[in-house]
Structure 1
Amino acid sequence: MDIRPVTPRYAVSPQIAPEDVAAIKEAGFTRIICNRPDAENPPEYQAAAVEAAAQEAGIDFVTLPLTYPTMTPERIAEHMAAIEDAPGPVLAYCASGTRCTTVWALGRATAGDAPDELIAAAAKAGYDLNQLRPRLDELSAG
C-alpha cells in the first residue's frame, strides 16, 4: 500500500486490497473513496470487496468510479462533497492515484484555489499535473 498525502485531510493511493483496510483505519482515515471502475479490476479488488472490509472496520466507503471522460463538473462536485462531509481524513484510490489527484485538483480549482498551489501539492505527493494547468487556470478564474 502506497498512501500519498496531498493535504492533511486528503491522501491518495494506487489500488488497495481488502486486507489493507485495517492499516488504513490505523492510519486514521475515516472514509475511503473508490475512484476505480470495477471493469478495471478482478472481483477480489472491485469496490464491493473493499467496501465490505471497510464496513467491517467501521470506515465510511464511497464508490465514485471515474475515467477522464467522466470527470464532469457534477462528478467532480460529488468527489469534493465526499471529502468535505467526511468526519475526518479521506483516502481516495484508483489504479495509480493520478485520477484521485486530478479530480481533487479540478475540484479545488473550481473553489478558487491557485493552480500553482494545486500543482505543487500534487507534485509533493508524486503526481505531475502540469498538463492540467490550462484547465486549472480556467476553473480557478471562473
Structure 2
Amino acid sequence: DDVEALQTQGYATIVCNRPDGEDFGQPTAASVATACEELNMAFHNLPVDRAGITAEMVERFRKIVAESNGPVLAYCHSGHRSSVLWQASGSP
C-alpha cells in the first residue's frame, strides 16, 4: 500500500491537491484519508481545480505544514500544483 510505504519513509501528513475524478483509476481522497486514519497519519484534502490556487488555499497549506508532526507529502497529477502551493506558502 502506498500510504503505508510513505509512513515507513517517515511522512506524517499527506495533502491531496488533486480533485477526485481527475484521472481514471486514481484513488479518491476519501480512500487515502481512510488509509491515513488507519495508520494514524494526518490527511488533508485541498484540491486545486481549473480555477487555480487562491490566497485562502495558500494560507491553509501553510498552516497544514506548520502544524504537521513531521514531514509532509503533497501530491497532484504532475506535482506542479503542489509545488506552487509549497512555494507560495513559504514553507521550508
**Normalization by structure 1: what TM-score?**
0.59
Larger radius of gyration: 1
The RMSD of aligned alpha carbons is 2.0
Equivalent of residue 11 in structure 2, options 16, 29, 36 = 29
The yes-or-no answer on 1:40 pairing with 2:29 is: no
The yes-or-no answer on 1:100 pairing with 2:91 is: no
Equivalent of residue 55 in structure 1, options 30, 37, 59 = 37
Work out the percentage of aligned pairs sharing the same amino acid: 35
Match of 2:69 in 1: 87
- Kept in 2, the 8 Å contact 1:35–1:66? The answer is yes
Counterpart of 1:69 in 2: which secondary structure?
A: coil
**Normalization by structure 2: what TM-score?**
0.89
Question: 1-side partners of 2:6 and 2:17: how far apart?
Answer: 16
Question: 2-side partners of 1:68 and 1:106: how far apart?
Answer: 18
Counterpart of 1:70 in 2: which secondary structure?
A: coil
Counterpart of 1:79 in 2: which secondary structure?
A: helix
Match of 2:48 in 1: 66
Match of 2:60 in 1: 78
Classify 1:98/1:44 alpha carbon distance in 2 versus 1 (closer, same or farther; 3 Å).
closer
Higher percent of residues as helix: 1
User: Structure 1, residues 95-121: CA drift from partner, whole Å, max 9, x if none?
Assistant: 11111001111122xx8xxxxxxxxxx
How much has 1:62 moved relative to structure 2?
0.5
Question: 1-side partners of 2:71 and 2:17: how far apart?
Answer: 16
- Greater length-normalized contact order (CA 8 Å, ≥ 6 residues apart): 2
Letter in 2 for 1:50: V
Listed as ranges, the gaps of 5+ residues in structure 1 are 1-18, 112-142
How much has 1:69 moved relative to structure 2?
2.5
Size of the alignment, in residue pairs?
92
Question: 1-side partners of 2:26 and 2:54: how far apart?
Answer: 28
Question: 2-side partners of 1:73 and 1:64: how far apart?
Answer: 13
Listed as ranges, the gaps of 5+ residues in structure 2 are none
